[in-house]
């Protein structure tokens, strides 16, 4: 409990300072946190349709796109990572595609999919697949030779080789990629909604700003922060369970 | 007695480099054979060709059975840290029904005295215990031949004696055919029913020696027995024959020098 207080002291302090400054300055552009909290309450709790029509679809698109990118990224990454030949052919293409800033493809996806869920999901998938893919390649390559030999000697089946050896050996790297991708998913979700959408948190944020409702605009920003924090915490909890097999000393190095 | 392993004119070259040149030998069922040779003589190439990890450039390896098992020197790398000790032992048995798998793993863990550690992770165990897990895993696979690559080179001397005796007991109780590749002369004499002495690269068979010691071995009495000492010296001589190593000449020179110094100073 003490540690918890210690961790959040600076954060709480800054909120308090903002509250005080906000009340003193009385500036419409910078409302105090208490007002933002009230606005958030009114917006999403007292009017639940805002939650169901905007917040939930946003989260849904983010998670769906991240899941798609993760599955494709891990599968392709493990495949490329275990085949030097395939990696030689694919590498220049990967480096090139990865270098394209994902928001630059929003206009392209708009043409292909029109405004809506598929366009936004496509934008997120394209943007967040690279950290997963490249980390999976790295992880699959890192299976050490003795484990490869051991697997060969015991004549294990292909499925056991992939899911019982390569995947677990690569999992620490894969999780590192998943974490980067998840936070990137949030960024791209907002961008896709700011540019072209008819619902979602980003769209609401934009609407609030256009309606000069700056308190609600800030409420949107805070909601995104809370969302990002929550998602990352959830993923870390999953990671800690999934990688519990790692020797303690290495765990400490990660911390 | 039937042969479990027949190796005929086995040779392997990497590019221009000839690692092993024409080895022919058999391992009989239930026998423990040690292959001993100078470091870097192509022992690992031999092991990899016998275990089928690489295809030899010439010659033939015939195993009387469907599969063999290997115990590698580096147990830390050969065990899977994400599996429990039990999971590691069951690793080669995934194609069997669950109950059968459990039974065989429990059995193998009992043979090596690790029943209590079944639920632990390998990295929570000492080095010697980890190598016992690797041995249990190999035995659970019920191999026609148990191939061991410098199996006790990474543990301390005390543990090494324990593991050597464990291997002797297990293979006697379960009639396992074993081929141990090692660079340690004492170990090869202590463990083996027969010793194959290799020359340095390309590896050729220098001698095929029966070990004239009783099957029952003991770390203290066996190692001081006349037969043991005589055979150890013989193998040591064989390993130096034909190609005195640089070190021997260097030592001899250093010795002469220090002698002359003592003489001149006195």
Measured from the Cβ of residue A174, the count of other Cβ atoms closer than 10 Å reads 27
Do the beta carbons of residue A52 and residue A200 sit within 8 Å? no
CATH of the domain at A165: 1.10.3720.10
A146 contact residues in B (CB cutoff 8 A): 72, 74, 77-78
- Write out the CATH class of domain B3-67+143-265: alpha beta
Residue A134 lies inside a defined structural domain of this protein: yes
Give the pLDDT of residue A106: 87
C-beta atoms of A144 and B77 within 8 A: yes
Residue A132 lies inside a defined structural domain of this protein: yes
C-beta atoms of A156 and B91 within 8 A: yes
Is the bond preceding residue A3 a cis peptide, omega within 30 degrees? no
Taking the Cβ of residue A249 and every Cβ of chain B, the question of whether any pair is shorter than 8 Å is answered with no
Closest CB from A150, A154, A247 relative to B81: A247
DSSP category for residue B51: T
Residue ranges of E strands in B154-199: 178-182, 194-198
A241 contact residues in B (CB cutoff 8 A): none
Taking the Cβ of residue B81 and every Cβ of chain A, the question of whether any pair is shorter than 8 Å is answered with yes
Characterize the bridge pairing of strands B178-182 and B145-149: parallel
Closest CB from A152, A153, A160 relative to B94: A160
Cβ-proximal residues to B183 (8 Å cutoff; 6+ apart), any chain:
B36, B37, B38, B39, B43, B150, B153
Q: For testing the chain B interface, which of A145, A149, A150, A239 should be mutated: the one with the most B CBs within 10 Å?
A: A150
Measured from the Cβ of residue A245, the count of other Cβ atoms closer than 10 Å reads 16
Closest CB from B69, B74, B82 relative to A153: B69
C-beta atoms of B78 and A147 within 8 A: yes
∠ CA A193-A195-A200, rounded to 5°: 15
Do the beta carbons of residue B35 and residue B180 sit within 8 Å? yes
Residue A35 lies inside a defined structural domain of this protein: no
- Give me the sheet containing B32-36, strands edge to edge: B68-71, B145-149, B178-182, B32-36, B194-198, B205-210
Residue A36 lies inside a defined structural domain of this protein: no
Q: Can you give the pLDDT of all 266 residues of chain B as single tens digits?
A: 589 999 999 999 988 888 888 899 999 999 999 999 887 778 888 999 999 999 999 999 999 988 999 999 999 999 999 999 999 999 999 999 999 999 999 999 999 999 999 999 999 999 999 999 999 999 999 999 999 999 998 888 899 999 999 999 999 998 999 999 998 899 999 999 999 999 887 888 988 999 988 888 988 889 888 889 889 888 888 887 445 555 555 555 665 665 565 544 44
Q: Which domain holds residue A76?
A: 59-241
Residue A231 lies inside a defined structural domain of this protein: yes
- B65 alpha carbon, distance to own chain's centre: 20
Residue A70 lies inside a defined structural domain of this protein: yes
As a whole number of angstroms, the distance between CA A138 and CA B144 comes to 37
Domain count, chain A: 1
Residue A103 lies inside a defined structural domain of this protein: yes
Instruction: For A95, list phi and psi in degrees, rounded to 5.
Output: -60, -40
- The CA distance from B195 to the nearest CA of chain A, in Å, is 24
If you measure CA to CA, which chain B residue comes closest to A242? B82
Closest CB from A146, A152, A246 relative to B74: A146
ipTM of this model?
0.84
Residue B81 region by backbone torsions, left for phi larger than 0, else alpha for psi between -120 and 50, else beta: alpha
As a whole number of angstroms, the distance between CA B115 and CA B106 comes to 7
Task: Give the helix/strand (H/E) hosting A175.
Answer: helix A167-195
Does the predicted model carry a pTM greater than 0.95? no
C-beta atoms of B123 and A160 within 8 A: no
Cβ-proximal residues to A253 (8 Å cutoff; 6+ apart), any chain:
none
A251 contact residues in B (CB cutoff 8 A): none
């Amino acid at each position: 409990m003490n540690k918890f207080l210690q961790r959040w002291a600076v954060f709480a302090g800054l909120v308090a300072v903002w509250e005080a400054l906000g009340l003193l300055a009385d500036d419409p552009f910078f409302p105090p946190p208490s007002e933002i909290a009230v606005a958030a309450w009114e917006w999403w709790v007292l009017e639940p349709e805002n939650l169901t029509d905007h917040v939930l679809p946003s989260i849904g698109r983010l998670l769906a796109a991240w899941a798609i990118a993760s599955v494709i990224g891990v599968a392709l990454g493990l495949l490329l990572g275990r085949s030097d030949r395939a990696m030689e052919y694919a590498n220049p293409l990967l480096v090139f595609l990865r270098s394209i800033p994902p928001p630059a493809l929003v206009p392209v996806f708009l043409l292909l999919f029109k405004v809506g869920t598929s366009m936004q999901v496509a934008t997120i998938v394209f943007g967040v697949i690279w950290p997963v893919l490249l980390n999976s390649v790295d992880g699959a390559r890192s299976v050490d030779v003795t484990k490869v030999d051991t697997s060969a000697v015991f004549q294990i089946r292909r499925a056991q080789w992939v899911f019982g050896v390569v995947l677990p050996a690569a999992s620490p790297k894969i999780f590192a990629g998943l974490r980067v991708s998840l936070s990137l998913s949030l960024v791209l979700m907002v961008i896709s909604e700011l540019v072209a959408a008819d619902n979602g948190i980003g769209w609401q944020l934009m609407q609030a700003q256009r309606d000069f409702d700056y308190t609600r605009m800030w409420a949107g920003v805070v909601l995104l922060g809370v969302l990002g924090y929550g998602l990352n915490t959830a993923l870390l909890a999953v990671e800690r369970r999934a990688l519990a097999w790692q020797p303690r000393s290495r765990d400490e190095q990660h911390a | 007695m039937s042969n479990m392993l027949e190796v005929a004119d086995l040779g392997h070259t990497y590019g221009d480099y000839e690692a092993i040149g024409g080895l022919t030998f058999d391992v009989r069922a239930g026998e423990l054979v040690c292959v001993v040779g100078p470091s870097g003589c192509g022992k690992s190439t031999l092991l990899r060709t016998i275990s089928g990890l690489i295809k030899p450039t010439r010659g033939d390896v015939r195993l009387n059975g469907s599969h063999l098992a290997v115990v590698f020197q580096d147990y830390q790398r050969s065990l899977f840290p994400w599996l429990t000790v039990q999971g590691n032992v069951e690793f080669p048995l995934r194609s069997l029904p669950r109950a059968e798998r459990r039974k065989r793993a429990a059995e193998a863990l009992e043979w090596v005295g690790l029943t209590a550690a079944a639920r632990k992770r390998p990295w929570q165990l000492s080095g010697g215990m980890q190598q016992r897990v690797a041995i249990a895993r190999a035995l659970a696979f019920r191999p026609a031949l148990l191939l061991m690559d410098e199996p006790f080179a990474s543990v301390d001397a005390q543990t090494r004696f324990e593991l050597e005796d464990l291997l002797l007991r297990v293979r006697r109780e379960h009639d396992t055919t074993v081929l141990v590749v090692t660079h340690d002369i004492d170990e090869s004499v202590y463990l083996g029913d027969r010793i194959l002495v290799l020359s340095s690269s390309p590896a050729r068979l220098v001698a095929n020696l029966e070990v004239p010691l009783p099957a029952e071995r003991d770390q203290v009495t066996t190692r001081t027995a006349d037969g043991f000492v005589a055979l150890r010296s013989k193998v040591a001589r064989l390993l130096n024959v034909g190609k005195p190593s640089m070190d021997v000449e260097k030592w001899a020179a250093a010795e002469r020098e220090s002698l002359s110094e003592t003489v001149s100073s006195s």
